[in-house]
């Protein structure tokens, strides 16, 4: 997978998660580029994003959760995932647990006018 596709896949996955922005920030793109250059596999990234999201969303909270403003929120979980061995079956399990929360986000009026569509569906093959 080339760098551009890798970065776009990471960013599409990130913005599909609940509590994340509708579109990624420039800093998110730089972090995705850094992860590509470091050779971090997409399975590790997907596992870290789903694991971090599951820990956040599937617990009871007394107060509403604040939005996630950056992909950097998931860096500690990614470091944890890199030191453990998770397989594709675990990622599928996390994806299924979160399936009701992974919804396409509404298009803002400014984006609709600019011709920007909803993030494409991920088709990762593991």
Is 124 buried (19+), middle (13-18) or exposed (0-12) by CB count in 10 A?
A: middle
Residue 98 domain flag: yes
> How many folded domains does the chain comprise?
1
Is 96 part of a structural domain of the chain? yes
125 is a domain residue: no
Q: For residue 52, is it within any domain? A: yes
Report if residue 123 sits inside a domain.
no
Average pLDDT of span 36-50: 94
* Mean local confidence (pLDDT), 66-73: 93
pLDDT > 90 fraction of the chain, expressed in percent and rounded: 48
CA gap 52, 71 in Å, rounded: 11
CA proximity to 52, closest of 37, 70, 35 = 70
pLDDT tens figures, 15-33? 999 889 999 999 999 999 9
Give start and end residues of each alpha helix (H) in the chain: 3-16, 26-37, 42-57, 75-83, 88-97, 109-114
On the question of pLDDT at 118 being above 50, the answer is no
In-domain check, residue 124 = no
Please report whether residue 60 resides in a domain: yes
| Domain boundaries, position 25 | 3-114
Residue 122 falls inside a structural domain: no
HSE-CB for 24 with a 13 A CA cutoff: 23
Per-residue pLDDT reduced to its tens digit, 91-112: 888 888 887 776 566 554 444 4
């Amino acid at each position: 997978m080339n760098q551009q596709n890798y970065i776009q896949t990471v960013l599409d996955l990130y913005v599909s998660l609940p509590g994340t922005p509708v579109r990624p920030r420039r800093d998110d793109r730089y972090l995705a580029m850094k992860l590509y250059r470091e050779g971090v596999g997409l399975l590790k990234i997907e596992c870290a994003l789903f694991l971090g999201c599951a820990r956040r969303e599937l617990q009871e909270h007394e107060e509403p959760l604040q939005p996630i403003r950056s992909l950097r929120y998931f860096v500690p979980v990614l470091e944890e995932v890199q030191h453990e061995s998770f397989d594709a079956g675990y990622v599928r399990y996390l994806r299924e647990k979160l399936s009701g929360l992974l919804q396409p986000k509404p298009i803002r009026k400014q984006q609709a006018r600019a011709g920007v569509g909803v993030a494409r569906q991920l088709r990762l093959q593991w």
